[in-house]
Amino acid sequence: MNTQAEPATSVADIVKQVFSVILVIAGVAAFYYFSADHPYFKEVRLLYRVLGLVVVMLMVLGMVLTTGLGRTVWSFALESRQEVRKVVWPTRDETVRTTLLVFAMVFIVGLILWLLDMFLFWGVRYLTGQGG
């Protein structure tokens, strides 16, 4: 019985994933390297740095989605989206009523805990002779 729980990951997928991590690190490093505080790159504006970082992240996303793990994650995301569409969301009136009920219960439990704490504190002070 030689069944594997997970399919073997190909070498190409591992190389893509490692290269993706390196590319993300390089993109973030470049974002900060070309910051306005650097004396040689005062002309580089934040917009260009952000656009460069977005382009790098899109390249990494595209590369990761070509791996087996990336395809699995994308499939999961699509299935999750379908499941969210099946959810019956509450109406505005139901949401308001539920929210108010939660606030009321939190207030009541807080009041009960405050009273319990006050009486326990009073009892401890009475037993230790620190209060009257």
pLDDT tens figures, 75-89 = 999 999 999 999 999
pLDDT at 5 over 90: no
Residue 58 has a CB neighbour count (10 Å cut-off) of 10
d(CA 98, CA 111): 20
Residue 10: pLDDT band with limits 50, 70, 90: confident
Residue 75: C-alpha distances to residues 42, 72, 86, 104, 116 (Å): 43, 5, 17, 42, 52
Do 80 and 108 fall into the same domain? no
Residue 129: pLDDT band with limits 50, 70, 90: confident
User: Which residues span the domain enclosing 114?
Assistant: 89-132
Do 66 and 122 fall into the same domain? no
Q: Is the pTM of this model over 0.95?
A: no
> What is the domain count for the chain?
2
Do 96 and 77 fall into the same domain? no
| Residues whose CB is less than 8 angstroms from the CB of residue 30 and which lie 6 or more positions away in sequence, other chains included | 49, 52, 53, 56
